[in-house]
Amino acid sequence: MSADEYGRQMPDFTVNLLVRDIARSIAFYRDVLGATVQHSDPDFAALRVARLEFMIHADRAYEKHAWQQELKSGARRGLGAELRLFHVDPDEVENRARAAGAKILQPAQEKPHGWRDVILEDPDGYTWAIGIPK
């Protein structure tokens, strides 16, 4: 699928994460979150987990962007944003995360807000809360 075709088919809301290493991030999302890789190349990947379609771009795809200097600095990414994905089994995700050596910020547990979730960090520091209703 061409970039133009993909762009015209995007949902009303999506997420785009800038990552240092596309292949490493694809492995995390595929092996830990169970993502389907819709498309990938050295600078971009389109992924789907449950009903969420999202993208990752390599830093070099943003070389002419205002963020260029900060991206090169190695600063932590995603601090203050928690990406929440529901209706995905947190216990299965936690087991896959442990097997893959992924960083688990909070093991799967029931929360007062009515969900059981696990909180993970991807290889670039983006935080994901994955859960199901209690």
**Residue 11 has what pLDDT?**
83
Give the C-alpha separation, 87 to 130, whole Å: 8
**Residue 22 has what pLDDT?**
96
Backbone phi, psi, residue 81, to 5°: -120, 135
The domain limits of the chain are 3-60+78-133
> Mean pLDDT, consecutive 10-residue segments, the chain of 134 residues?
77 90 97 95 93 91 77 81 94 98 97 94 95 94
CATH number of the structural domain 3-60+78-133: 3.10.180.10
- Longest CA span, the chain: 45
**Residue 122 has what pLDDT?**
96
Torsion of CA 15, 32, 83, 20, to 10 degrees: -60
Give the C-alpha separation, 20 to 26, whole Å: 11
